[in-house]
Amino acid sequence: MTGRIPEPTERSSPHGPVGEHRWPMAAAVVAAMVLTLLLPDDLRLAPRWVLPAVEGLLLLALIAGDPGRIDRRSTVLRTMSIALVGVLALSAVWSTVRLVDDILQGGKETGSATSLLQSGSTVWACTVLAFSMLYFELDCGGAAARAHHMPATPALAFPQQLNPEVARADWRPRFVDYLYLALTNATAFSPTDVMPLAPWAKITMGVQSLVSLLILGLVVARAVNVLA
């Protein structure tokens, strides 16, 4: 081992495009929908069933347009995927802003340590799912594009890309890799094993770290204050 980063090359599957299964991504969207339903009314962007209904319709349209494995490249499907991620991200950001405002203003959700921790953990989980979907959709043009080929210079460098000796030649990042990225970034407040290379990746990971730090810091501080 020389410690040098291998020269980037575009990698295509020798057996043709093989997309990843749709169900992990779909399960994450369903989980986000359930968490949205569990949020208190004043922390939701819209009435209880509006956002889950919109997210559910977009998810069903994506499944109908590209069932099974994600490998169909289509402008319409890509637009719907971006729209779904946008709704998830907007909902998570809105809930974060409302939670911070409640903590600072002494809202009804912050009067009890139990309700505060429940609301805070739900909002935090929503942000992790939203950012995992954001990374999943933006990296290398999305899952369908990754199924056909990997670019020479990825926006997010996974260990398998930095050290190809530990992975198969046709390795592709899957949704679980992006979920792990979002989770570790939200707990460590910095990159762990996945390095952001593109400017958008650095900005997005930085924003997620700040959002997570804000949620956890204020929630824990307020909960300790209430208990004291």
Instruction: Give per-residue pLDDT as tens, 94-143.
Output: 999 999 888 888 777 666 778 888 889 999 999 999 999 999 999 988 88
pLDDT at 175: 95
- pLDDT category at 6 given cuts 50, 70, 90 is very low
168 φ, ψ to 5°?
-70, 160
State the helix-helix crossing angle for 199-227 and 113-138, rounded to 10 degrees: 170
- pLDDT category at 3 given cuts 50, 70, 90 is very low
How far is residue 64's CA from residue 84's CA, in Å, rounded to a whole number? 15
Q: pLDDT > 70: what percent of the chain?
A: 89
- Identify any residues that bridge with 11 across adjacent strands, giving them in sequence order: 150
Residue 35 clears pLDDT 90, i.e. is over it: yes
Could you count the other beta carbons within 10 Å of the beta carbon of residue 111? 12
SS3 192: coil
Strands 195-196, 156-157: parallel, antiparallel or unpaired by DSSP? antiparallel
Domain map (residue ranges) of the chain:
20-227
Instruction: Give per-residue pLDDT as tens, 188-226.
Output: 988 888 999 999 999 999 999 999 999 988 887 777 776
b/e map of 163-202 (b: 16 or more CB within 10 Å)? eeeeeeeebbbbbebbbbbbbbbbeebebeebbbebeebe
For residue 11, give the nearest of 158, 176, 175 by alpha carbon: 158
Instruction: Give per-residue pLDDT as tens, 179-196.
Output: 999 999 999 988 888 999
117 φ, ψ to 5°?
-65, -35
- CA 141, distance to chain mean position in Å, is 15
Instruction: Give per-residue pLDDT as tens, 74-85.
Output: 899 999 999 999
- Alpha helices by DSSP H, listed for the chain, are 23-38, 50-65, 75-105, 113-138, 143-148, 159-162, 175-188, 199-227
Average pLDDT over residues 21-39: 94
Inter-residue contact 226 to 110 (CB < 8 Å): yes
For residue 207, give the nearest of 93, 36, 117 by alpha carbon: 93
How far is residue 145's CA from residue 77's CA, in Å, rounded to a whole number? 12
How far is residue 14's CA from residue 170's CA, in Å, rounded to a whole number? 7
Q: Which residues touch 151 (CB under 8 Å, ≥6 apart)?
A: 10, 140, 141
Residue 149 clears pLDDT 90, i.e. is over it: no
- CA 156, distance to chain mean position in Å, is 13
Instruction: Give per-residue pLDDT as tens, 43-77.
Output: 888 888 999 999 999 999 999 998 888 988 889 99
